[in-house]
Amino acid sequence: MKDKLHSPAGSLSGGLRQMLALSRIFLLKPRLVLLDEPFLGLSPLVVDDIFATITALNQQGISFLLVEQNARKGLSVANRGYVLESGQNRLTGSGTQLLDDPEVQRLYLGG
């Protein structure tokens, strides 16, 4: 992002805007960050970079509440997961438990 230092945020691509938003977390040092569909419309490489950043920030003690349609990706980094259906909590468990749950696989992961 160094080459975009003097560019207005509105002129950045979707991926760079997300990276800019996440970089503000470093400045504010919050205890909890809420992210609603942060990967919508982004390329898989950018998604991987952002997930790596979220994981690194989490390891520094910042908690994340992530709402994400890509259940497999979201649950792969989740300490705790909640599967919602029609606004109701359907299943709860660790990310690993939910990834391994046959019902979650059948209904949400295409397995």
- pLDDT one-digit tens code per residue, 1-51: 667 666 777 777 777 777 777 777 778 888 999 988 887 777 888 888 888
pLDDT in tens, 71-108: 888 888 889 999 888 888 888 999 999 999 998 888 77
What the block records as the tokens of 110 is 């295409």
**CATH topology assigned to domain 8-69:** Rossmann fold (3.40.50)
Q: Where in the chain is the domain with CATH 3.40.50.300?
A: 8-69
Compute the distance between CA of residue 79 and CA of residue 9 in angstroms, rounded to an integer.
Answer: 32
SS (H, E, C) 45-77: HHHHHHHHHHHHHHHCCCEEEEECCCHHHHHHH
